[in-house]
Chain A
């Protein structure tokens, strides 16, 4: 080691002598890019980074997440509402999933348009297609883990679709569910698949994909203009990749803050929750409406099967060496039709949800409920029976409240007591109402308006829903009862 070398360079030499790290690094950084560096080539790097981001985020989330039906939802709620940085890390994981679907489709569409599957790249292309399927598998299994209403009912529909397949359907469904119903066992196996099996599969395939890519070399531009030019990956392409990754990362961070990852109330199998799939499954969902009974196999099995079958076989039957998209009108046309139909179906499903007043109302209610839950402060789950607090054992204590409280009207018991207590004493979910009429801005008129629409009234912490289902008479009774409540 010479005297004028920095200690860092010295350490690098030391390491290189023992590991050959320099050759490894230059093998990575000196990858030749035919035709020179371009922003068009950033998608693969973005996907790899997103995958790493999902793995890191997932590992961190597992610090608090519990894959059990009776704790999963509370633990996710705890992550989202309480843990420092929790909303951000869960947000990145949530939106990162969508980002992976989007970028994977872009990557695939580009490879298709640029004819990059041609010229002995069948395995490279096929491994990419498999990875897209795995990404959908991640999305499907990850969706259930929060165990809220949307997760439960969405997965119920998804697993029922698996059960509709001829011959293997019911067996397949039982295996997926781990029984006859969607239970905590289903949650456990979705967790296992999501957290252990799929990451291993995707990591292995990504490694294979990269290996095949480096072996075949980049396809390069589809025209011959820049053929004289070759650039190394470092620094031009690496810089472009880094900029693109920074943009995607910034969007994920921004989304996590501006539109926090959703979490609704805990799954309630007895409710009539109206399930709507996440956006990437909307085309399938919409198609289901047009194929009743046995015909539903067409959108659920045959169509996706045909699409992916064609995808895997494409490099084998398309032997035309031409790569320029303008000279492959059929190929470009097919992709355009597929993408436009998918977008059209998504749009159509949204339009139909808005135009059906029943559905629109129900979805709006669910949204309100979700917002109500989301904005409510976190409440730890009670495990085991709590001790009777010493004070309550005192004779006389605890009865003073009840003595002053007139019997509440039935409508109160029905609609309000869950949160405000059966005697207006309040619970963890709602403030007490004792002596409310003595407070500022809580006159008879105010209370009436709050009951009418707590949001319109401008209540700082509005009630989870408004109560148009209460009759005017009931509301009046409740207001009168509240006015009589003394502290």
Chain B
């Protein structure tokens, strides 16, 4: 392209004041657009993360009489949780110990970092980082910050029911998520 003028020296550069004013105005408009967009993207991306609070629901664990006494018994329950567009009915593990009519129910989620707790001999253990609890749920050793989390339960007629809830990990108190 044969330019009439050298591009490095445009012939009619606007006065500096006008230059900087138009430049400022462009930046301001651009900033406004970005702000409208940015705020809404932020709301969109982060909003739903804070909207949910899961209430525990009472779930059936079958007949109390069907749960053997002594060693811990593993049962699974279906827990419904809303996650964004879906209501997910997923299985969760529950540990139950029973002596006569005295029942204790624990989540199988380790209070340390959330691995799955298993029963081994006279203990509950988390194989991830070697936390140990007694079958009564009392912390015996390892990095877990607290006892195994008990779940609220009740016996109605013959049926054993529990209220399944998730608890925060890594802290010494039991606190619902």
Contacts and interface: CB of A to CB of B under 8 A. Distances in A.
A70 to B, nearest CB: 10
Contact of A74 (B19, B82, B86): B86
A95 interface: no
Given A230-B10, A384-B88, A387-B78, A235 B26 contact: yes
Interface residues of A, number: 58
B7 interface: yes
Nearest to B80: A386
A75 B26 contact: no
A266 to B, nearest CB: 12
A246 B33 CA distance: 7
Contacts of B77: 387
Contacts of A216: 1
Nearest to B89: A384
Contact of B47 (A83, A238, A380, A393): A83
Contacts of B82: 380
B11 A380 contact: no
Contact of B7 (A230, A234, A383, A384): A230
B167 interface: no
A83 B84 CA distance: 9
Nearest to A380: B87
Given A83-B47, A386-B80, A228 B59 contact: no
Nearest to A53: B37
A32 interface: yes
Nearest to A245: B33
Contacts of A239: 22-23, 25-26
Looking at chain B's contact residues, the main secondary structure is mixed
Interface stretch (B38-46, B102-110, B127-135): B38-46
A84 interface: yes
A85 B30 CA distance: 20
B66 interface: no
A388 interface: yes
Given A63-B44, A230-B5, A253-B36, A393 B60 contact: yes
B77 to A, nearest CB: 7
A75 B86 CA distance: 8
Interface string A16-31: 0000000000000010
Contacts of B11: 228-230
Contacts of B42: 85
Contacts of A388: 60
Contacts of B89: 382-387
Interface in A102-121: 119
A365 interface: no
Given A230-B10, A230-B11, A380-B82, A34 B48 contact: no
Contacts of B177: none
Contact of B43 (A78, A82, A85, A253): A85
Contacts of B79: 387
Nearest to B26: A242
B78 A83 contact: no
A60 interface: yes
B41 A56 contact: yes
Interface in A1-42: 30, 32, 34, 36
A231 interface: yes
Contact of B86 (A242, A381, A385): A381
B13 A387 contact: no
Interface in A61-89: 63-64, 66, 71, 74-75, 77-78, 82-86, 88-89
A418 interface: no
Contacts of A232: 10, 13
Contacts of B30: 242
Contacts of A83: 44, 47-48
Nearest to B77: A387
- Give the most central of A64, A86, A382, A383: most B CB within 10 Å: A383
A83 B52 CA distance: 12
A362 to B, nearest CB: 30
A71 B44 contact: no
A197 B77 CA distance: 44
A235 B23 contact: yes
Given A231-B12, A239-B22, A243-B29, A84 B59 contact: no
B145 to A, nearest CB: 30
A310 B102 CA distance: 86
B4 A228 contact: yes
Contact of A85 (B14, B47, B84): B47
Nearest to B9: A230
A259 interface: no
Contacts of B87: 380-383, 386
Given A89-B40, A89-B44, A231-B13, 20 more contacts: A36-B12, A56-B41, A60-B45, A63-B44, A74-B85, A83-B48, A85-B41, A228-B5, A232-B10, A235-B23, A236-B22, A238-B22, A239-B26, A242-B29, A380-B84, A384-B90, A390-B57, A390-B58, A390-B156, A391-B58
Interface of B: 1, 3-5, 7-8, 10-14, 18-23, 25-26, 29-30, 32-33, 36-37, 39-45, 47-48, 57-60, 77-80, 82, 84-90, 156, 159, 161
